[in-house]
Amino acid sequence: MPGTKSSGRPGGNPDLEEYQFEQKYDWDEPCTAKMTLRLPPSLYEEVKKLPNWQEKVRIAIASLVKEENLSS
């Protein structure tokens, strides 16, 4: 019966740590700000195929900003 003490498996999920969200970045602050940009659909599809694409895009943007700050 869902929502009661007798629902679910007794003892919880022993493999919970295996399924928890793993922080994949090592930034000084949390990545909570959002940015929207427009890409050609073909490029968008290629980026989405990359493993861990979100972190790779963050690193690429950080490198670009660092490079621009060094050159100015």
pLDDT of 62 over the 60 cut: yes
- What is the reported pLDDT for 13? 64
Backbone angles phi, psi at 15, to 5 degrees: -100, 25
Q: pLDDT by residue (tens digit) across 7-61?
A: 566 666 666 666 655 555 578 888 899 999 999 999 999 999 999 999 999 999 9
Q: 70 Cβ partners below 8 Å, 6+ apart? A: none
Domains of the chain: which residue ranges? 25-71
**Chain centroid, CA 19 distance in Å:** 15
